[in-house]
Amino acid sequence: MKFSPASLRRLHWLNLPGTLLIALLQRTPAVRVVATAADTVLSSPATSVLKAAVAGLGSLGALHSLAGATALSPSEPSPATAMAGVGTTLVFAVTGAPASPQSYTVGGSVPPGLTFRALGGGGAGVTSGIINASTIQLSGTPTAAGTFTMSIVGWRGANGTSNQYSASYTVVVSGPANTAPSITTQPLAGTVAVGSPAALIAAVAGTPTPTLQWFKNSVAIPGATTELLTFASATLADAGSYTLVATNSQGSVTSNAATLTVTGGVARPEVVAHPTSVVRPLGAGAALAIVATGSPTYQWRKNGVAVAGATAATLSFAALAAADTASYDVVLTNAAGSITSDSATVVVAAPLTAVLRNLSVRTTLAANQILIVGVNMSGAGKEVLVRAVGPSLGVFGVPGTMADPQLAVFTAATPPVQIAQNDNWGGNAAVAAANLRLGAFALTPNTSLDAALVTTIAGGRTVQVSGPTAGTVIVEAYDAGAGNAARFTSVAARNLVGTGGDVLIAGFTVDGTGSKNLLIRAAGPSLGALGVPGTLVDPKLEIFTATTVPVKVAENDNFSGAVDTLARTLGGFGFVPGARDAAILVSLPAGGYTVQVSGLNNGTGEAIIEVYEVP
């Protein structure tokens, strides 16, 4: 405010005690007086009195440093009102002070669901502590009714320093108080005949509204999340003890158990003894058997495909043939439903007349992406022709080939040790001779930028392939030695599985006479348990002949437990129970084959393909 000259003259001769003068001046904040008074005020005795009074009061501590008509200025006077379940925001500042507060200390009884923060600030709020801001807000959605009184302290300095102004503030939250769930109507036991409708009914109270879940014999029933549990046509399998669990933010409650009894009819089959895996020599007899209740019919399956005429409790093999190597289970059915037994493997052990001779993996890589192919050579080791082919694939009409692939061979040690590498094969004489002798397609011309080398491999090795530009590449390992004492026993490759032409493809040759037992896997979900991100959710593997017109030999979507057990004995990592990885046990006659790994429903992600020799 401005003073008139007459007022200034009166102020000049006022002879009042300093404390009274300041008290009077606080009716109009002192900051405003000093900021708006005329020059005569600044030179008047009153100004001297004011300065002396302020200095004296600062030393005596008689008045707050947040002087003037200092007050907490909320957006709604105390007590404020709010409604449980309805969002609210209250804003707080301090007015009438020489300077705005730089921080606040908040505490006391804060309504549940509300928190303090700087005005407009993000992140989690607080219910007690220091907030560095000139204005603060209390916001959120109250969850409980009641009267709540908080303390709010304004500080002149940051972090709760310098003199303070404090006040209490009350918020009254109305509405229903939150209450823990309760079962107001308990479900009742009942007896129904097979095929008749049935229902279990309960009633629940609680605030907020509880979520519900029915359980049968302590196991949650999928989708059973209302107060009414119905059975359109009761079966013997529906008989059991049922409970309803109600849960909200205040707690959880379980109903009394209600037993549903179903009379008449027959019970669904139950397995007493599952079939057991066997290993037998070629030509020997063998049998798989199951023991079950419920007088079921039987249907045996081989690698998921029904075996014609195999409809008894025992599946007999009078004289095992190589092709009998597989995974078997049996589907049991009666009027009450069907179940499938655990799987069992049959491995027909034959003389070592057929071996894995050549291995290959084809995929598409991004620029500088590394494809890792693992191979294992039993025995003392052999010379192996290793190739990473990009440009020469163009001769076969393959589009988008990698322009300049590079390869390196490493040991399986930790850390790996590089034992060989090549960028451009450059017409190397040893490579050219091995290409011709082993029947590998030619790398043309000799100046092509394909990579190839001949090296000795013993035990586990990895081949790493990459290139400065993206493209399709095939990685090959040819057994260049003689005899079967040392031989490939496994191959594995991991890469991103795409769609269409970007699926993961592995090839191999079974060389010799007779057949070769192989376990082939496509792992996706179980890689996640090993820390691999972005895995293929549901891999599917398919085996084809490497003929002009490929013929599908076998396929698998989800693995069986017996095959996983066998893989562990061969050195493979275990699959996660219930995961949707794929695996199949087969016996393949001599010839060339490809294995394609794709994602079910065009899924994509990281996957690994593995081929194991089964002794």
Write down the pLDDT at residue 562. 95
Domains, the chain, in order of start with CATH, read 5-60 (no CATH), 71-174 (2.60.40.10), 179-263 (2.60.40.10), 270-349 (2.60.40.10), 350-486 (2.60.120.510), 497-615 (2.60.120)
Write down the pLDDT at residue 163. 78
Residue with the bigger pLDDT between 149 and 32: it is 149
Residue with the bigger pLDDT between 167 and 28: it is 167
Q: Which residues contact 192 (CB under 8 A, 6 or more apart)?
A: 198, 231, 234, 260, 261, 262, 263
Nearest C-alpha neighbor of 73 from the set 117, 14, 134: 134
Q: Which residues contact 521 (CB under 8 A, 6 or more apart)?
A: 541, 559, 567, 572, 581, 582, 583, 584, 608, 609, 610, 612
Range in 67-71, 217-221, 426-430 with the lowest mean pLDDT: 67-71
Are residues 520 and 541 in contact, defined by beta-carbon separation less than 8 angstroms? yes
Write down the pLDDT at residue 373. 95
What's the pTM?
0.60
Residue with the bigger pLDDT between 497 and 2: it is 497
Most confident of 193-197, 214-218, 492-496: 214-218
> Mean pLDDT throughout 241-252?
94
User: Amino acid letter at 322?
Assistant: A
Does residue 17 have a pLDDT over 50? no
Where are the strands (E) in 467-538, listed by range?
471-479, 488-497, 504-523
Write down the pLDDT at residue 96. 79
Question: Distance (Å, rounded) from C-alpha 160 to C-alpha 473?
Answer: 66
Range in 111-125, 545-559, 587-601 with the lowest mean pLDDT: 111-125
Q: Which residues contact 512 (CB under 8 A, 6 or more apart)?
A: 353, 354, 355, 357, 484, 590
Write down the pLDDT at residue 293. 92
Question: Distance (Å, rounded) from C-alpha 428 to C-alpha 430?
Answer: 6
Question: Distance (Å, rounded) from C-alpha 214 to C-alpha 240?
Answer: 12
Does residue 244 have a pLDDT over 50? yes
Does residue 24 have a pLDDT over 50? no
pLDDT tens for each residue of 27-72: 333 332 323 233 333 333 333 333 333 333 333 333 344 444 678 8
pLDDT tens for each residue of 512-522: 999 999 999 99
Q: Are strands 161-174 and 80-83 parallel, antiparallel or unpaired?
A: parallel
